Each structure stands twice: as C-alpha cells, then as structure tokens.
Structure 1
Amino acid sequence: MAADRLVVGATGGPGEDIDGTAGALDAVEVKQLSRLRRWGTVGALLLMLGAGSSYGAATPIPNPVDGLRILGLLSRIGPAALACSYAGIGLIVLCWVLIGRLAAPGRPRRLSRSQLSHTLAMWAVPLLVTPPLFSRDVYSYLAIGSMMSHGFNPYESGPYDTLGDADPYAHQVDVRWQHTASPYGPVYLLIAQGVVSLAQQNVIVGVLLQRLVELVGVALIVWALPRLARICGFDPVAALWLGALNPLVLFHLIGGGHNEALMLGAMLAGLVIALERSMIGGVVLITLGVGIKATAAMTLAFLVIMLALRAGGRWRDLVRCGLQVGVVAALTFAAFTAVAGVGFGWVAALGAPGTVRSFLSVSTSLGVISGQAGLLLGLGDHTQAVLDVMQPVGTLIGAGIAVAIMWQCWQRRINPIMGLGMAMGAFVLLAPVIQPWYLLWAALPLAVSTADPRVRTAAVWLTVLFSVTIMPNGATIPVFVIVQAVIVAAVVVGGVSYGLRRAGLPSARVEPVPEP
C-alpha cells in the first residue's frame, strides 16, 4: 500500500527508476539534451537582457541603468525589452517541456540527476543578477527588514506609513502593499532584518542578498525532492524535472526572489529529516517554514499522520505523535516569536493578500461574476459584498477538502505526501488570492509522489499557463505593447521549435509505470 511504501522507503541509483531499470542516455539523446540546454540558456539570457527595462522586470525607481551606454539601451525601448523577456520565457518553457521527455517515468533511458542539476544551474545563473522578476515583492521584504531595523513593528502598519517616502526600500514597494501590515511570520521578519542590516540603504545590494537567501531554499528543494521520491517509491529524476527544473521555480523563486523558496525548502527538507533521521529536527525545520509563511503548517498535520502510520496506525499512535509534533512546533515557534519581539500580529494580517482581486482564484472569480450579473440585472453593484461571502466560503471548502484528504491518508488509501500536494492544491485554488508561484505548493509534493499521467500532465499544463499569465515587471503594460511582444516571441519560439524538430526531438515513448 502507499502508506506501507512510505514507511519502509526505497532505494535507487541516480538517473534510474526506483527499481534501477533505466539506463543512461545514448549519444543521440545526449546531443538532443545539449541542444535543449543551450536554447534554454539563450532564453534565460534574453530574460536577463529584457530585465534592463521597466517593462522587462520590476526595476528599482529610478532605474539604475538609465543613461548608461549599452546597458541603458533597452531601458529606453520598453516594447523591445518586453519582446526579449517573452521570447526568453517561451524558450525556457519549450525546452523544459521537451527535456521532460528524457525524464519521463518508465522511459528505458533517462538523463541522470547530475545532468538535470547542471541544466538547472545553466538556466538559473543569468537570473541571479537581474532586478526582481514578475513582482515587486522583494522590495516589500526589504522594507519589512528596514522597519525591523528601525524598531518598528511590521504587524501594526504598512512600510510607507512608517518609513515614509525617503526610505529607499519603502519607496520601491508596490502601491498595493505600501499601507498593508506584513502577513509573514516572525522567522522571516528576522531574516529580512538581517538582509537589510548587511545591505544598509543600498537597494541593489539588498535585492541580490535577498535572492541569495532564497537560493538556500532552492538548494533545500533540490536536496529534498529525490529523497522524498525514494521514500514514496517514486523515481527521483522525474521528481526533480517536474519540481526543481520547473519554470515557476526559475521565474519566481530564483528570478523573483520570493520567500516561498525558503518556506518550501524548509517544508520538504523537514519531511525528509523527520522521516529518515530525527522527528524533532524535522519538526523544527518545518516550523521554521511556518514562521516564514503560515501555509506550511498543513505539512505538520500530514507529518503526524505519516509518523502515526509508521508507529502502527492506531488511534493512540495518532494522538501520541500529534502531541509530540505539536509540543516541538509550539516551542520552536514561541522561541522565534520571542526573539523577533513583535507578537502575533501576523495572524490578523493573513487576509491582507486577499484585498487584491485574483482572477485565478475560483472563489474570487465566482464572486466577481456574480457581482457583474447583479449589475446586468439592475440590482446594483454588490461585487464586494458577494466577495466578502464567497472568499471565506472558498477558504472553508478548501480546508474541508484538506481534512477529507487527511482522513483518506489515515485510512491508507492515499500516500500522505501525495495527499499533502492534493490538499495544498485544493486550498490554493479556493483561496481568495492565487499568484502563479502558489502552484508550487501543490506541484512539489505531487512531483515526488505520483506517476499518474493525468496528474503530471495537468501539472505541466498549469505550469505552462501560469508561466505566461503575469507580466515580467509584475505591473500593468499597455495591451498593444503586450500583443506586439507576444507576436515577436511566438515567431522566435516557433522558429526555434521548428529547428529543434528538424534536428531531432527526444522520443516521447515510455513504458507504463505502476502507481507507487
């Protein structure tokens, strides 16, 4: 059963199926992989080139490359920069999908873990030196750190209200969050304070340091995914391709510098440590993730189920494991809260992201549609009132689905790590707000726990969709400029795709793989 495999674990060599039957790529496939790597790197370089403009990245205000020779050229030609960025996005997504053929579960020959890790490094390096991509959240993190450094409580007011326009970080924060209290836990407030203490008032240094901090989270993800895959009896290479090489990781966790990287890294690495080495160490690490973003708390519930199943699967095992995990988590969180010295104001601020209408959210979209229907029927504009009802209802339904999935895991019908991914997915889709990188909350646990082609195909298509649904600068761009950029990018990506087909694409043929 899934839970039995989870308890016992499994072994397998790098680049192999869990049973060790997959071989290394042949000479033709190595050449195909090399071409895809190079074109993906070209895509990353194009994305880096476009990031010099306020259309191609969330550049600081004012843009530090304005007026510079050569470097400042694209900053003055926004549409061209956006076309570069979109062409880069398209090339990375295309090459990722095609490399997936070489990492598919059940393929007789597949790329190794080292080949996949090297590919990730090639595509990630150009994104390490760009301004923040796809959102201005990094500036919010730095402004929170500045508030902490100046002795202000980020849970009581927004950065602009406290620091004022003269502060170099508060000035950069997206206007939607300038007057909003922080929804992040005390662990992240301490991290942000440390980054600002090192960067002082230098915005560029602050952005680069923030990205380096999040790279620690990405490293934890890369470390944890193959180990969790083996625990679940699944192929580690296929897990790394869907999880670590995922374009959303490149675009948002590395390029965007989002603190989801640390949250997800702590969450996944904590599961590995708790299941293979030390329950206390694993719970402490997961709790650090909760102290970054509260979403990681769901992992603790599924960990209790895993530990209880391993201990025998009796109700008293569930109660005992729940108490052990709960005590360690509570003490850890209390310690970091005391060190941060800002109290529990983050609880009241958790609803702050929901103030922005996200049309990727099911509950928000239904609320807006209902409000517009009322306008058409002559009943007046009650959109906000409908949203005030629909959004909490969506959250409650998502929580209910998560509890139902936990029950199925306890009954040994669902692998608990797969259950974690399913529960995260339901919670994300029904939450008041969805950002493209939120898909990773569900995709990473599912990447290590299922070979079901329907689940993996859905994850791939959602990744492709979410990769192109947000502007590289995280802001509004005139529609005609977007259309021009998309046309140019489509021509470039289409031409590269045609050339790759002429040179030969990896075979998509795989053998059926039983569900672990």
Structure 2
Amino acid sequence: MARTPATRLPAVIPGGVSHAAAAPPLDAAERSALSRLRRWGTVGSLLLMVGSSSSYGAATPIPNPVDGVRILGVLSRVGPAALACSASGIGLLVLCWFLIGRLAVAGRPRRLSRRQLVHTLVMWTVPLLVTPPIFSRDVYSYLAVGRMMAAGHDPYASGPYDVLGDGDPYAHQVDARWQHTPTPYGPVFLLVARAVVAVSGDSVIAGVLLQRLVELAGVALVVWALPRLATRLGFDPVAALWLGALNPLVLLHLVAGAHNEALMIGLMLAGLLVALGCTRRLGTGTAAVLLGAVLISLAAAIKITALLALPFLAIALARRAGGRWADLFRQAARIGIPAVLAFAAATVLAGGGIGWIAGLGAPGSVQSFLSVSTSLGTGAGAIGLLLGLGDHTQAAIGVTQPLGTAAGLLLGVAVMWFSWRGRIEPVLGLGLAMGAVVLLGPVIQPWYLLWAVIPLAAATAQPRLRKAAVWLSVLFAVIIMPNGATIPVFTIVRAVAVAAAVAAVALFFLARGGLPRSRPPT
C-alpha cells in the first residue's frame, strides 16, 4: 500500500500574521487614548467593587457582613442603586475593552505591546480581587465541597446541605438549586477545594478570597500560554491576548466570579503549549509531550470538558510526525497513557472514585434560555399551549436537549476529521468543537463561552470567527445579573438606563480626547 507523503504544519498559518514583523509602538496620541481607556475601565471595575456590597450587586454572603457598617454598608440597604453601579461598571469595562481592541488589530501600522495589554489587565483586575463572588454563588458550592472532603464525606454521594446541615457556614451559602446535588467536578477540583477550606477554616470571606487566588493562577497561565501558542501557530500574540485574556468574560466570571473554568482553561492551554514544543527549556521531545498530556489530564480532572483537547493534540502531533494513520495511533497512545495515569493518580488521592460521572447531568437540570436546544424545547411547549394541546414543555425539552447534545458531539467529531485531513488547524479545531458543544448543549452559562473563545483567540485570524467571538462576548457579558439571581424587571430597566447614560458620558469624553482607530493613517 502506498504511503501518504509527510504533511507538516506550516510555521506560519495562511491568513495569520507572523510575529517576526513586529509593529512599531503607539505614538503619543494613541498612548494618550490608551491611558484614558485604561482609567475609564478601572472606574468600571471600581463601580463593580462598590456595587458588590449589596445583594443586588453581587452574590453576597448571608448575612451580608457589611450590613450596619458605616459607609461600607450604605449601598447594602439600597439595592437598586447598587445594581445601577454594577451595571454601569460592566458597561464601562465592555466599552473600553472594545475600543482598546482597535489598538490590538493584527496588521495595524502601530500597535500596543503585550506589556501594555497585560498592564491594562492588571489595572482592571485588582479592584475585583476583594469583592464577594459576582454573577454566581458557585464559589460557595466549591467551598462546601471542600468542607465535605475535610469532614470525610463523599461529595459524589450527596449534596452539601444534606450532610453538613444549615449550621455549617459554607453549606448555608450554597444556591438552593445545588444544596442537595452531588458535585459534577473531577478529583483535582476536590483536592483544591479541600486545601482551600483547610486554610480558610470557618471563614467564608477568607475561603472566597483564597478560591479567587487559585483561579487567578489559572488566569495567569492563560496570560502566559496564550501569546506563545499564538506565536507558535503564526498569529499575532497581542490580538490573541486582547480577545482571550482581556476579554470581559475573563474579568467578570473567572476573576470576579472565581469560576473553576479559569484553572481548567489555564492548565489545558499550558498543556497544549508544552506538548507542541513551544517552550524553549523542554523543546519538542518526549518529556514535553508527556508533561503536556499530564497538564491537560489535570485540567480534565477539574472539568471533564478539557478532555476534548487530547484528541486534537494527538492530531497535531501525528500530522507533524508524518500524517499517517500509524502516526495518529502512536501519538494517541503516547499522550493517552500518561493522561490516564495522571487522572487515576488524582482520583486515588482524592478518594472519591468516579462518582463525578453520575453528577455530569446536574447542570442540565437548570433551564438556560441561552441554550439553543433548551430554547427550542421551551418554544415548542409554548406553541403547544397556544394551540390548546396542553403544556408539554418538559417533554419537548426532554427531546431537544439530547438532540442538541448529540448534534454538538457530531460536529465536534466532524471538526476532528477535518483537522486530521489538514483543512483545519488542530487548535482552531479545538475551539470550534468547544463552541459546538457549548452552544448546542443543554445549558449555557456566560463563562462557558470562554472554552471556545480562548483557543480561537490563539488560532485564527479569520474576521468572521473573531467578530462572532467578540459580539458573543459582549452579549454574554451584559446578559446576566450581578447577583446571579432574579431581580424585579423594573429595577433592571432602571439600572440598564443608568448604565447606558454612564457609558454615553464616558464615550463622549473619550471621543473629545480622540478615539483610537483600527486603521490609522501611516
């Protein structure tokens, strides 16, 4: 049988921008515009920090520790004002991020540097490090799981409220939807949660801050790996950092919300970077591939979604090795064995077995209007009511959700095939497959979008894909309430009106000083 000639990935992907041709730095007017955008974005973070003192502006602990405190407790008694502060902060962050993107466009004659972009990220991040959890109460679930581990309970067998009781400081804070639900997270997550609770003790505030620092380490991994991976693939590292790391969803949900996606994505991205030979010290040898596979396995042991990176890594390595089926099988074994061993070691250390498999369906029990499959089921139920056929919403959702999940998985397999055939770069394929799984899955949370956006930021310069990622990020950044719960509609409308007015005022002053342009005259 004739052997297929070796196919190697090019050093610079067609359509990308080589990092070799570095753009000149910004001129004085552009540096001034960047400085103004940084300051207004920092004001947005500060407004979020101020608004988080109220149960309308954040998922504050119960009872709220600032109630009755002078000055700090003022907004805690005026929920609508706190919500307006938080909404205004979100609007300013999204606006300033969008405009800074004009200075990060690949191919621009003058472009901001990676250091300037990371400096901006730090400025906007610092005020969010000391807030209560924002947009979700999931952090309290993490801490309650750690408490269960510390007390010798199996978090895969029961919910935190069932075994810890209402008197426990952590179980009391968990969202009512998850108080009686076993955790769906993997063994590495259990070990991290137990370590955090071991340090924080009974202090909920200390536990939240420590968990946020853990997730901040994941964000740091993204900042470290993303531009290097983009450079390896032949794309602009600054444009990748702007879309993937400075993204409002990272600030709002991975930092302020302290979601474990931060550590999952950071480890997954670092694993891809190391295994593909993008680090000078490890090179491209066996040690690099083994370490990369282990890092991805640890990411999957936090949330199983990261496991999707392994087949795309095998495809990338196999194509580099020659592009034959034998190469694919060899590379799959090369990364699969250490990945399985690492996952098994984490499982033994955590001591929870594989009970997380049974808990994977728990997030799908919540109806998410952002999910295409759930919305179709809800719409079908509404049509049945209009036609007088009765309320069959749950039955319709029971059909559309599995179909959506199956469609997402089939699209992911199709993307793998096209990646293997050389039509799609494997890291880009990972982003596309993640996007299909997220958008067609039974439930979508705004931070889930980052599963797809961050790999796409490193692996494509296609305008349509990048524009879709930008506008979905903007939409998902403003669509959920800061406290992650239900707020009266009229209160939301007033807060949005205030936020729109604040954003308009900011845009007016920014325009007076001169807005940055994507294509300035040379």
Give the alignment's TM-score, normalised by structure 2.
Answer: 0.95
Alignment of 1:376-395 (within 5 A): 376-395=386-405
Q: What secondary structure is seen at the aligned counterpart in 2 of 1:350?
A: helix
1:448 and 1:392 map into 2 onto residues whose CA distance is: 31
2:273 is equivalent to residue 272 of structure 1: yes
Q: What secondary structure is seen at the aligned counterpart in 2 of 1:448?
A: helix
Alignment of 1:431-450 (within 5 A): 431-450=441-460
Deviation larger for 366-375 or 79-88: 366-375
Q: What secondary structure is seen at the aligned counterpart in 1 of 2:106?
A: coil
Deviation larger for 375-384 or 475-484: 375-384
Q: What secondary structure is seen at the aligned counterpart in 2 of 1:188?
A: helix
1:469-514 CA-to-partner distances (Å, cap 9, x unmatched) read 1000111111111111111111111011011111100112179xxx
Q: Give, in angstroms, the shift of residue 19 of structure 1.
A: 3.1
Q: Give, in angstroms, the shift of residue 390 of structure 1.
A: 1.3
CA-based RMSD of the aligned residues comes to: 1.4
Q: What secondary structure is seen at the aligned counterpart in 2 of 1:210?
A: helix
Q: Give, in angstroms, the shift of residue 454 of structure 1.
A: 1.2
CA contact (8 A) 1:7 1:306 kept: no
Give the alignment's TM-score, normalised by structure 1.
Answer: 0.96
2:274 is equivalent to residue 247 of structure 1: no
Structure 2 partner of 1:167: 168
Structure 2 partner of 1:13: none
Letter in 1 for 2:469: A
CA contact (8 A) 1:5 1:232 kept: no
1:6 and 1:80 map into 2 onto residues whose CA distance is: 54
Structure 2 partner of 1:406: 416
Letter in 2 for 1:391: Q
Structure 1 partner of 2:285: none
1:179 and 1:403 map into 2 onto residues whose CA distance is: 35
Structure 1 partner of 2:364: 354
Q: What secondary structure is seen at the aligned counterpart in 1 of 2:25?
A: coil
Letter in 1 for 2:506: V
Q: What secondary structure is seen at the aligned counterpart in 2 of 1:64?
A: coil
Structure 2 partner of 1:187: 188
CA contact (8 A) 1:337 1:344 kept: yes
2:131 is equivalent to residue 130 of structure 1: yes
Q: Give, in angstroms, the shift of residue 17 of structure 1.
A: 5.4
2:453 is equivalent to residue 452 of structure 1: no
2:107 is equivalent to residue 106 of structure 1: yes
Give the count of matched residue pairs.
504
Structure 2 partner of 1:396: 406
Letter in 2 for 1:376: L
Q: What secondary structure is seen at the aligned counterpart in 1 of 2:459?
A: coil
Q: Give, in angstroms, the shift of residue 25 of structure 1.
A: 0.3
> Do the aligned partners of residues 377 and 225 (structure 1) sit closer, same or farther apart at CA in structure 2, a change above 3 Å counting?
same
Structure 1 stretches lacking a partner, 5+ long: 11-15, 512-516
Q: What secondary structure is seen at the aligned counterpart in 1 of 2:276?
A: helix
Structure 1 partner of 2:116: 115
> Do the aligned partners of residues 478 and 20 (structure 1) sit closer, same or farther apart at CA in structure 2, a change above 3 Å counting?
same
1:224 and 1:6 map into 2 onto residues whose CA distance is: 20
Structure 1 partner of 2:303: 293
Deviation larger for 387-396 or 86-95: 387-396
Structure 2 partner of 1:231: 232
1:280 and 1:56 map into 2 onto residues whose CA distance is: 44
Letter in 2 for 1:369: G
CA contact (8 A) 1:5 1:231 kept: no
1:98 and 1:89 map into 2 onto residues whose CA distance is: 14
Structure 2 partner of 1:514: none
Structure 2 partner of 1:478: 488
2:159 and 2:197 map into 1 onto residues whose CA distance is: 17
Structure 1 partner of 2:379: 369
1:389 and 1:191 map into 2 onto residues whose CA distance is: 36
CA contact (8 A) 1:139 1:173 kept: yes
2:425 and 2:490 map into 1 onto residues whose CA distance is: 47
Structure 2 partner of 1:490: 500
Structure 2 stretches lacking a partner, 5+ long: 1-5, 283-287
CA contact (8 A) 1:366 1:390 kept: yes
